[in-house]
């Protein structure tokens, strides 16, 4: 069963009772309940939300990612379970002791799939993929020739049909991409924790101030799913500088969108768990390849 994402934008009071998340809201006197085992994400946007410690503990026990937003309504913090696997210590050791050659090979695989998925997205939208396929087949170990960066310059201009620079602080639609990527990053971090891995220890990203380096690595091939959702918003005429409720709801649907992984259609949230479980096996020396999705052309 696909688990749910609960998104709170109004003042609310959240508590737990008999393994149910109990939700009370000022404008509605009737309490609502949701089985905690059915939840994957809780996103808290309104500053007037109160959540009890037992509720947080129960959510954590069920590997529910709790995302808190800042005063600009952007996700700013993430609560994750750090004891989500019965072989936690063993898996941590495999990850910590991963050799540099293995990391470089895993990063090569990651960038190859990312570029291929970018090309497939362009083709699915009726656009020319240009040199992306040839770039994907020429990625070297560790991507030392930066095929990722070369592909990005081609990709963004072709996706939006004009000179476009992907910049966290750049012009619209960068704000939409930012929100979508933050949600995706949270989902990847949750999947990593559920597979017994530390989201902090990356295979490529290694910024000393970044607590989610591995999540940033593993999300790369999944980014085109966010890009498509943002493209749909741009195409529909959405030009909101401040993200509205409907826009955010559209971006949150990314988590339940279909992806093709192991030749089977699965929701993206489920595919992430397959990817992170395969990564854990790579760290343990049981496999040599991460299982990533193949972008579905419509």
Is 100 in the same domain as 34? no
**CB proximity list for 40: less than 8 A, separation 6 or greater:** 3, 4, 5, 64, 65, 187, 190, 255, 269
Is 231 in the same domain as 249? yes
Q: What is the pLDDT of residue 70?
A: 87
Q: What is the pLDDT of residue 83?
A: 67
Nearest to 2 by CA among 38, 33, 36, 34: 38
Residue 202 maps to which CATH number? 1.20.120.920
Is 60 in the same domain as 92? no
Q: What is the pLDDT of residue 103?
A: 96
Q: Is residue 204 part of a domain?
A: yes
- What confidence tens digit (pLDDT) does each residue in 199-240 have? 889 999 887 767 789 999 999 999 999 999 999 998 887 766
Spans in the chain with pLDDT lower than 70: 1, 83-86, 209, 239-242, 298
- Burial of 158 from C-beta contacts in 10 A (0-12 / 13-18 / 19+): buried
Q: What is the pLDDT of residue 86?
A: 60
Last residue of a domain, one of 79, 112, 135: 79
Q: What is the pLDDT of residue 288?
A: 93
Is 74 in the same domain as 100? no
Alpha helix locations (H) across 195-264? 213-218, 223-235, 245-252
- How is residue 218 annotated by DSSP? H
Q: What is the pLDDT of residue 84?
A: 59
Q: How many other C-beta atoms lie within 10 A of the C-beta of residue 240?
A: 14
Reading the block at residue 41, the tokens are 């994400």
Q: In Å, what is the CA distance from 124 to each residue of 1, 128, 225, 296?
A: 28, 10, 12, 8
């Amino acid at each position: 069963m696909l688990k749910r994402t609960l998104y709170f934008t109004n003042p609310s009071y959240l508590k737990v009772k008999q393994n149910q998340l109990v939700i009370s809201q000022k404008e509605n006197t009737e309490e609502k309940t949701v089985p905690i085992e059915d939840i994957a994400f809780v996103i808290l946007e309104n500053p007037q939300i109160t959540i009890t410690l037992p509720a947080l503990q129960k959510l954590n026990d069920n590997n529910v990612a709790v995302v808190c937003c800042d005063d600009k309504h952007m996700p700013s913090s993430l609560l994750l379970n750090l004891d989500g696997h019965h072989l936690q210590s063993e898996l941590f050791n495999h990850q910590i002791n991963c050799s540099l050659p293995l990391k470089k090979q895993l990063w090569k695989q990651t960038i190859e799939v990312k570029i291929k998925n970018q090309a497939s997205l362009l083709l699915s939208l009726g656009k020319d993929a240009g040199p992306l396929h040839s770039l994907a087949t020429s990625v070297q170990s560790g991507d030392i020739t930066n095929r990722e960066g070369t592909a990005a310059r081609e990709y963004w201009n072709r996706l939006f049909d004009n000179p476009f620079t992907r910049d966290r602080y750049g012009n619209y639609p960068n704000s939409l991409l930012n929100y979508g990527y933050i949600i995706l990053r949270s989902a990847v971090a949750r999947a990593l924790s559920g597979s017994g891995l530390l989201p902090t220890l990356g295979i490529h990203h290694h910024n000393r101030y970044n607590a989610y380096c591995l999540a940033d690595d593993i999300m790369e091939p999944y980014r085109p799913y966010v890009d498509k959702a943002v493209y749909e918003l741009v195409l529909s005429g959405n030009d909101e500088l401040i993200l509205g409720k409907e826009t955010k709801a559209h971006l949150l649907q990314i988590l339940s969108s279909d992806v093709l992984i192991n030749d089977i259609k699965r929701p993206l949230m489920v595919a992430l768990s397959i990817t992170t479980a395969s990564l854990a096996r790579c760290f343990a020396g049981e496999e040599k390849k991460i299982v990533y999705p193949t972008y579905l052309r419509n």
